Amino acid sequence: MSNIPTPHITAKEGDFARTVLMPGDPLRAKYIAENFLTDAVLVNNVRGVNGYTGMYNGKRVSVMASGMGMPSMGIYSYELFKFYDVDNIIRIGTAGSLQPDLKIRDLAIAMGACTDSNYAAQYELPGTFAPIASFDLLRKAVDQAEKMGNVGYKVGNVASSDVFYSERPTMEAWQKMGVLAVEMETAALYMNAARTGKNALTICTISDSLVTGEVTTSEERQTSFADMMKVALEIA
């Protein structure tokens, strides 16, 4: 018996490409499909989570939103990996910089993901799991950023938090450990990839700085940040 459609995705078998780009925002998924893909077709719109498949420079590529937070990313990435035969998911999201040399609009390429989440408890491991990226995708992303030139980026750890409005002053502790930036999805994505034997990478654009207080607008987060999109599309 087929597991598709799932409770959250109505796409048919074969509707998704082997590589799916996953922004958090459904409007960013729509923007990428309309501005970067040719012959893009809407394959999912359950709960307004837009998913499209089209062509980019001769390659079949899909883009679908993940929503916000690890529970949402956990659901969508699991269903894509497990039921839709997706091999690679590249998260293209936003993050808040924790380091003074990681500026607004720079890229944070997540080699690993620290987390305050209990997501890994489901695996009943005899210790602490360290969620890491696919080295192949990571290497390709760095090579592509270098090839493009004029792209500010850093590779390292990010912190995936369950809490946006925290009552605890946790960011300084992550800073002291050299963590580049804070976001809310990568740890769950990397764990799902590990558990299903698939590949994942997060490329985040710095949308705000917890060091300087600089911020970008919601419109900028939806429709700009082209460097991140181009790196992801080129390595898809």
Contact by Cβ (8 Å): 90, 110: no
| Calculated CA dihedral for residues 60, 233, 19, 89, nearest 10 degrees | -160
CA distance 78 to 86: 10
Query: Cis bond leading into 5, ω under 30°?
Result: yes
Query: Cis bond leading into 7, ω under 30°?
Result: no
Phi, psi of 52 (to 5 degrees): -130, 150
CA distance 84 to 18: 9
**Of 179, 164, 63, 193, nearest to 112 (Cα)?**
179
CA distance 141 to 202: 10
What single-letter amino acid sits at 52?
Y
Told to judge if 87 belongs to the known catalytic residues of this protein, a careful annotator would answer no
Catalytic residue among 15, 106, 208, 227: 208
Catalytic site positions? 208
